[in-house]
Amino acid sequence: MDLLEQGTTVSILQVEGTLRVPVSSDLRQRVEAMLRRGKRRIVVDLSRLSAIDAAGVGELVGTFNAAREAGGVLQVAHASRRVRHLLHITGVLTFLAAGAEG
C-alpha cells in the first residue's frame, strides 16, 4: 500500500552526499522546515546519496518519526541498490519506501 496516494501534493527533498557518522541534523531540519510551511507529503530523493551507514539509517528513521508526529508522511525514493539493501536489512525499507527502487 502506498502512503502517498495519487492526486496528493508531494514535495520532493533531494539528498546529496553522505548520511553517515558524524550525521548532521540537516535532513531533519529541512524536513521540519517543510512541515512548518504546511508540506505534509514529503519524498526524500536518495538518487544522489553516495553513502549511508547505520547512523544515516537512524537519521532517516528519526526524520520519518518527526514527520509522522507533525501529521506528515515521509518516504524515500530512488535509493541505489546498496542503499536499498541496507534499508532492507535494517527493516526500515517497508515503511520508508515510496518507489525506493532506482
On whether the CB atoms of residues 38 and 69 are closer than 8 A, the answer is no
Percent helix, strand, coil in the chain, to 5, is 40, 25, 35
Tell me: the pLDDT tens digits for 45-79?
999 998 899 999 999 999 999 999 999 999 999 99
pLDDT at 4: 46
* pTM score of the predicted model: 0.83
Neighbours of 31 (CB within 10 A): 23
Which one is predicted more confidently, 74 or 5?
74
Which one is predicted more confidently, 98 or 40?
40
In the predicted model, what is the mean pLDDT of the chain?
86
Quick one: fold of 11-96?
Transcription Regulator spoIIAA (3.30.750)
Residue whose entry in the numeric block shows the C-alpha cell 535509493:
79
Is residue 74 classed exposed, middle or buried when 0-12, 13-18 and 19+ CB atoms within 10 A define those classes? buried
- Domain chopping of the chain, boundaries: 11-96
Cell matching residue 8: 496528493
pLDDT at 22: 85
